[in-house]
């Protein structure tokens, strides 16, 4: 099964479970969790079920397209179900079957793994899912987001698409994976992998990036003061990505590092709080719409 078919299969599967199919969010980010479709929507009492593919940028993992296992940008298939349904594990296992993975021919396990992202004031408990010893999915029950308690609790399922594909397609090099028939990951991503790595480690303008960080941070604060949560959050994502670029280049000293993380965290916390307040102010509209939406 090529990656494109895997995505289609997963979309169909989770769509059948009542998930909204969303598209990747158009601001750079390190993980699908950071999309507002997850991070903001998992806050507050409103139900929220969503699935989307998220290209995730990890500048420090860039290897000029030379390492068979590491990428500047990989793809996650992200599912959020709030509140987490009682049969969420079964729904997940069914998705593996839909991908052609027969549990009777494999060894599938849920191994404890607790997730924490201090930058976002977020923490959750759950597992990494092992398929014959390989971690293919991160499965988390959110307990805290943006420093606020997650109530109700969302279940987050994050498939590492390249990982899973390397298993399904039995390939050892990520660049040999088939995206669709006749087109490989390497065909599409070799050049950007090389160029982004080169940019990140050698060519980026650090002064400009430091400057951008401050500008984005100020703009996030300003948008927040105006009660504009989503624009503010976009700038927080930009701060986060800018920080990652600087960090990967090794130009942030240790003492500064803690300071930068704290700055992003403070912003994320304020935004989380304001988001919930804003939703409350407009009466948590999706609490009422729940019934209608499921029939549409």
Partner 1 sequence: MSNTVLFEVGLEELPARFIDDALVQLEEKTKQWLDDLRLPYDTIATMATPRRLTVKVEGLADKQPDIEEEAKGPAKKIAIDEEGNWTKAAIGFSKGQGKGVDDIYFKEIKGTEYVHVNKYTEGEPTKNLLSQFSDLILSLNFPKNMRWGSRQLRYARPIRWLAALYNDEVIPFSIEDVQTGKSTYGHRFLGEKVEVEHADEYEMVLQEQYVIVDVAMRKEMIATQIEKLAQEKNWNILVDEDLLSEVTHLVEYPTVFYGEYSEDFLIVPEEALITSMKEHQRYFPVRAKTGELLPFFVAVRNGDEKHLDNVARGNEKVLKARLADARFFYEEDQKASIEKNLDKLSRMVFQEDLGTIADKVQRTIKLADALSDHLKLQPAIKKQVLRTAEISKFDLVTHMVGEFPELQGIMGEKYARIFGEDEEVAQAINEHYMPRHANGELPKSIPGTVVSIADKLDTIVGCFSIGIIPSGSQDPYGLRRSAIGILQMLDKQAWDIQLETLVNSAVKLYISLGLPNRSEEEVVQDLNEFFHIRASYLLKEEGVEPDIVEAVLANGIKHVPFTKEKAKLLASKRNDESFKSTHEALGRVLNLAKKTNVMEVDTELFENETEQTLYNTYLEVKQEYAASLSRHDAVQALKALGMLADPIHNFFDHTMVMAEDAKIKENRLGLLNLIATEIYAFADLNAVQWKQQY
If one asks whether residue 89 binds partner 1 (CB under 8 A), the answer comes out as: yes
Q: Which of 27, 98, 125, 261 binds partner 1 (CB under 8 A)?
A: 125
- Does 147 participate in binding partner 1 (rule CB under 8 A)? no
Based on the shown chain and the rule CB under 8 A, indicate whether residue 148 belongs to the binding site for partner 1: no
Among 21, 132, 288, 289, binds partner 1 (CB under 8 A): 132
Q: Which of 77, 92, 115, 127 binds partner 1 (CB under 8 A)?
A: 127
Residue 24's alpha-carbon distances to 12, 20, 66, 76, 180, in angstroms, are 16, 13, 26, 10, 19
Q: How far is the CB of 127 from partner 1 (least distance, A)?
A: 6
Q: What is the 3-state secondary structure (H, E, C) of the chain?
A: CCHHHHHHHHHHHHHHCCCEECCCCCCCCCCHHHCHHHHCCCCCCCCEEEEEEEEEECHHHCCCCCCCCCCCEEEEEEEEEECCCCCHHHHHHHHHHHCCCCHHHCCEEEEECCEEEHHHCEEEEEEEEEECCEEEEEEEEEEEECCEECCCCCEEEEEEHHHHHHHHCCCCCHHHCEEECCEEHHHHHHHHHHHHHHHHHHHCCHHHHHHHHHHHHHHHHHHHHCCCHHHHHHHHHHHHHHHHHHHHHCCCCHHHHHHHHHHHHHHHHHHHHHHHHHHHHCCCHHHHHHHHHHHC
Which residue in 153, 180, 148, 140 sits closest to 6, CA to CA?
180
- Under rule CB under 8 A, which residues in 160-199 are in contact with partner 1? 167, 172
Q: Is 134 in the site for partner 1 (CB under 8 A)?
A: yes
The least distance separating partner 1 from the CB of residue 103, rounded to whole angstroms, comes to 4
Taking CB under 8 A as the binding criterion, the range among 34-42, 125-133, 263-271, 279-287 that sits at the site for partner 1 is 125-133
Q: Does residue 85 interact with partner 1 by CB under 8 A?
A: yes
Residue 42, both tokens: 């998992």
Residue placing its CB nearer to partner 1 in the complex, 8 or 111: 111
Pick the closer one to partner 1 by CB: 155 or 165.
Answer: 155
Q: Which residues contact 168 (CB under 8 A, 6 or more apart)?
A: 1, 6, 99, 100, 101
141 touches partner 1 (CB under 8 A) = yes
- Considering beta carbons, is residue 101 or 223 the nearer one to partner 1? 101
Nearer to partner 1, 37 or 129 (CB): 129
110 versus 194: smaller Cβ distance to partner 1: 110
x/- mask, partner 1, residues 1-40, rule CB under 8 A, reads ----------------------------------------
202 interacts with partner 1 by CB under 8 A: no
**Residue of 104, 288, 247, 184 whose CA lies nearest to 96:** 104
93 is an interface residue for partner 1 by CB under 8 A: yes
Nearest distance in Å: CB 232, partner 1:
28
> Does the protein bind partner 1 through residue 105 (CB under 8 A)?
yes
Q: Of residues 238-277, which lie at the interface with partner 1 (CB under 8 A)?
A: 250, 253-255, 257-258
* Residue ranges that bind partner 1, judged by CB under 8 A: 67-69, 83-86, 89, 93, 103-112, 114, 125, 127, 131-134, 141, 143, 150-153, 155, 167, 172, 250, 253-255, 257-258
């Amino acid at each position: 099964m090529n990656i494109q078919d895997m995505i289609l299969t997963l979309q169909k599967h989770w769509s059948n479970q009542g998930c909204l199919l969303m598209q990747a969010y158009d601001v750079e980010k390190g993980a699908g969790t950071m999309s507002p479709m997850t991070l903001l929507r998992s806050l507050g009492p409103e139900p929220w079920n969503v699935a989307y593919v998220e290209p995730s940028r990890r500048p420090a993992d860039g290897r000029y397209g030379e390492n068979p296992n590491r990428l500047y940008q990989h793809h996650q298939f992200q599912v959020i179900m709030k509140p987490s349904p009682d049969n969420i594990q079964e729904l997940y296992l069914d998705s593996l079957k839909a991908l052609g993975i027969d549990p009777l021919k494999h060894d599938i396990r849920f191994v404890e793994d607790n997730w924490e992202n201090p930058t976002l004031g977020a923490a959750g408990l759950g597992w990494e899912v092992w398929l014959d010893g390989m971690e293919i999915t991160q499965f988390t029950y959110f307990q805290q987001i943006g420093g606020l308690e997650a109530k109700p609790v969302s279940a987050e399922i994050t498939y590492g698409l390249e990982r899973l594909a390397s298993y399904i397609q039995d390939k050892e090099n990520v660049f040999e994976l088939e995206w669709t028939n006749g087109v490989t990951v390497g065909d599409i991503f070799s050049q950007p992998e090389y160029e982004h790595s080169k940019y990140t480690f050698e060519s980026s303008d650090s002064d400009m990036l430091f400057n951008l960080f401050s500008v984005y941070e100020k703009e996030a604060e300003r948008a927040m003061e105006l009660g504009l949560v989503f624009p503010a959050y976009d700038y927080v994502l930009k701060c986060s990505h800018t920080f990652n670029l600087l960090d990967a280049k090794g130009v942030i000293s240790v003492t500064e590092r803690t300071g930068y993380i704290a700055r992003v965290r403070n912003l994320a916390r304020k935004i989380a709080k304001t988001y919930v307040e804003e939703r409350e102010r407009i009466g948590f509209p999706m609490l009422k719409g729940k019934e209608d939406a499921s029939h549409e």
